[in-house]
Amino acid sequence: MAEQNQGKAVQTTGHAWDGDLQEFNNPLPRWWLWTFYATVVFAVIYWIWYPAWPVADSFTKGIGTVTYQRDGKEVTTHWNTRAELIEEMQTGSETLKQQAYLQKVAAASYEEIVNDPDMMAFTRSTAKVLFADNCAACHGVGGTPAKIGLYPNLRDDAWLWGGDIASIERTIREGRHGFMPAFGQVLAEDKLEQVAHYVLSLSGHAVDSAKADLGRAIFQGKEGGCYYCHTESGTGMASQGAANLTDAIWTVADVPGAADDKARIDAVEAVVRDGVHRQMPAWSGRLDDTQIKLLTVYVQSLGI
């Protein structure tokens, strides 16, 4: 530094250490100094425009404002993110883009939505996002869960709680509580196995017919009483969320994934032994009526 500054009159700070050790006092670079002044000016504008300084138990509100509708009246308040969010949800550009469609969907009947290609296109694109945010954690991104376990596949046309529009809407709105009692305490091991043989025979699997006959007596009799919910023909009952046992669709026992006859029997037997306890939460508090409507149409369309 000393050599660089030779020939210029550079001030020193005036301190001297060890006799002759001095410190130059070079001015700040111009660009740095002006940037600094600019931040000062920015701060002052910020203080004037936005809420900034604490004063007693309140603060300076600034002169910036946000206007939104509250109970039909126009409210103008000092700038704050909460009021800004309300304004954006009411009149923001994204909101306005969707608004016409949302109002149209809200006013339309389910038949009208399904038969209107324009409304269906909107429903698919909007509900896909709603589904991803709310439903996909259990039912999988495309409506197929990660594995057979607790959560029904929504892409097939089998519905535990009914596949008509009204039932699907009710399922989403109020949630569902699926319950099958555990028979492990009621039925001995050999009887559980017999019931499993009978249940698999309903869907056309090769089973030991002697065991299946014994299983049928338990299923259709007082001992098991399975027919109360699954019906005598085994086709299930939507009001109880009881599965149809005669089709190839399995939501709890992983029958399709079983390696052999023995594994299939074991899978079904385990369900009879342990029972089923599954819960779908209610979405009425999280989603509004129109969102539920969009999801209902979307979920039903997945199953066709």
Minimal CA–CA distance to 269: which of 220, 221, 227, 211?
211
Q: Exposure pattern of 76-90 as b/e (b: 16+ CB <10 Å)?
A: ebbebeebeebbeee
* Least separation in angstroms between CB 80 and other proteins: 4
Tokens of 164: 């008509």
Stretch that binds other proteins, among 81-89, 230-238, 260-268, 295-303 (CB under 8 A): 81-89
How crowded is residue 106: how many other Cβ atoms within 10 Å of its Cβ? 12
CB 296 within 8 A of CB 148: no
Contact with other proteins (CB under 8 A) among 11, 76, 81, 109: 81
209 to 248, contacts with other proteins by CB under 8 A?
none
Contact with other proteins (CB under 8 A) among 44, 75, 96, 106: 75
Residue 208 to residue 222: CA distance in whole angstroms: 22
Stretch that binds other proteins, among 64-72, 215-223, 241-249, 263-271 (CB under 8 A): 64-72
Closest CB to other proteins among residues 216, 273: 273
Is 60 one of the binding residues for other proteins (CB under 8 A)? no
Residue 31 to residue 37: CA distance in whole angstroms: 10
CB 272 within 8 A of CB 196: yes
CB 219 within 8 A of CB 198: yes
Is 254 one of the binding residues for other proteins (CB under 8 A)? no
132 to 171, contacts with other proteins by CB under 8 A?
133-134, 136-138, 140-141, 145-147, 149-151
Task: Count CA atoms closer than 13 A to 182's CA, side-chain side.
Answer: 7
How crowded is residue 164: how many other Cβ atoms within 10 Å of its Cβ? 12
Stretch that binds other proteins, among 39-47, 54-62, 109-117, 256-264 (CB under 8 A): 54-62
Closest CB to other proteins among residues 85, 188: 85
* Least separation in angstroms between CB 117 and other proteins: 25
Is 86 one of the binding residues for other proteins (CB under 8 A)? yes
Stretch that binds other proteins, among 80-88, 106-114, 183-191, 246-254 (CB under 8 A): 80-88
For residue 109, the Cα-to-chain-centroid distance in whole angstroms is 25
Is 257 one of the binding residues for other proteins (CB under 8 A)? no
Helices H / strands E in the chain, number of each: 12, 8
What residue ranges bind other proteins (CB under 8 A)? 15, 51, 54, 56-59, 68, 70-71, 75, 77, 80-86, 88-89, 92, 94-95, 133-134, 136-138, 140-141, 145-147, 149-151, 277-281, 285-286
